[in-house]
């Protein structure tokens, strides 16, 4: 499947530290390792990829708005903003592009403050708990949803 619009993979706060700390929770892959694996998967799917990370909530909002015209789907690991950000929730609702909430760990099996997801309440679906593989599964979902949207399937 070829689509000229890329899949955006957007990463939130502290994900730039992956690999260096807490490997028992998040695995030993660095964000650069995950980006390389995503690039290989996107090439397999025939989709261009945009992969970014920011520690700034507003920057993630701006990138979601950019996705409205420029992306066919978004894979979003909003990090801790997942549990707090009304701004990300509203941006996801506003853009009309499918967003897949993605996590390395399974927040539902962790501390209670991670059980609420404001991102998940606006996203199309959630993939969590599979370590770096969550991103690859999310890219497959993004590819399928983008194809559905093109052919007007539900």
Q: Is 104 in the site for ligand CA2 (CB under 6 A)?
A: yes
Helix H, strand E, coil C: the string for the chain is CCCCCCEEEEECCCHHHCCCCCHHHHCCCCHHHHHHHHHHHHHHHCCCEEEEECCCHHHHHHHHHHHHHHCCEEEEECHHHHHCCHHHHHHHHHHCCCEEEEECCCHHHCCHHHCCCCCCCCCCEEEECCCCHHHHHHHHHHHHHHHHHHCCCC
Based on CB atoms, which residue is closest to ligand CA2, 62 or 106? 106
| Cα 64 to Cα 58: distance, rounded to the nearest angstrom | 10
147 binds ligand CA2 (CB under 6 A): no
- Counting contacts by CB under 6 A, is residue 105 touching ligand CA2? yes
Task: Give the one residue of 38, 60, 71, 77 binding ligand CA2; rule: CB under 6 A.
Answer: 77
For residues 67 and 5, give the distance between their C-alpha atoms in angstroms, rounded to a whole number: 9
Q: By CB under 6 A, how many residues form the interface with ligand CA2?
A: 16
- Tell me the closest approach of the beta carbon of residue 153 to ligand CA2, in angstroms: 29
Closest distance to ligand CA2 from the beta carbon of 87 (Å): 16
By CB under 6 A, tell whether 107 contacts ligand CA2: yes
Give the footprint of ligand CA2 on residues 80-99 (CB under 6 A). Answer: 80, 82
Q: Does 103 bind ligand CA2 (CB under 6 A)?
A: yes
Active site members:
26, 103
Binding site for ligand CA2 (CB under 6 A): 14-15, 17-18, 21-22, 26, 77, 79-80, 82, 103-105, 107, 114
């Amino acid at each position: 499947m070829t689509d000229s619009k890329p899949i955006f993979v957007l990463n939130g706060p502290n994900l730039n530290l992956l690999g260096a700390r807490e490997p028992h929770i998040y695995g030993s892959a660095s964000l650069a390792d995950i980006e390389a694996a995503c690039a290989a998967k996107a090439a397999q799917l025939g989709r261009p990829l945009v992969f970014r990370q920011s520690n700034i909530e507003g920057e993630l909002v701006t990138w979601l708005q950019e996705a409205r015209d420029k992306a066919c789907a978004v894979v979003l690991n909003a990090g801790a903003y997942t549990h707090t950000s009304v701004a990300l929730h509203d941006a996801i609702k506003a853009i009309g592009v499918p967003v897949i909430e993605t996590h390395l760990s399974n927040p539902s099996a962790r501390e209670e403050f991670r059980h609420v997801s404001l991102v998940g309440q606006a996203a199309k679906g959630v993939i969590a708990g599979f370590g770096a593989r969550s991103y690859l599964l999310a890219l497959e979902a993004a590819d399928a949803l983008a194809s559905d949207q093109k052919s007007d399937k539900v």
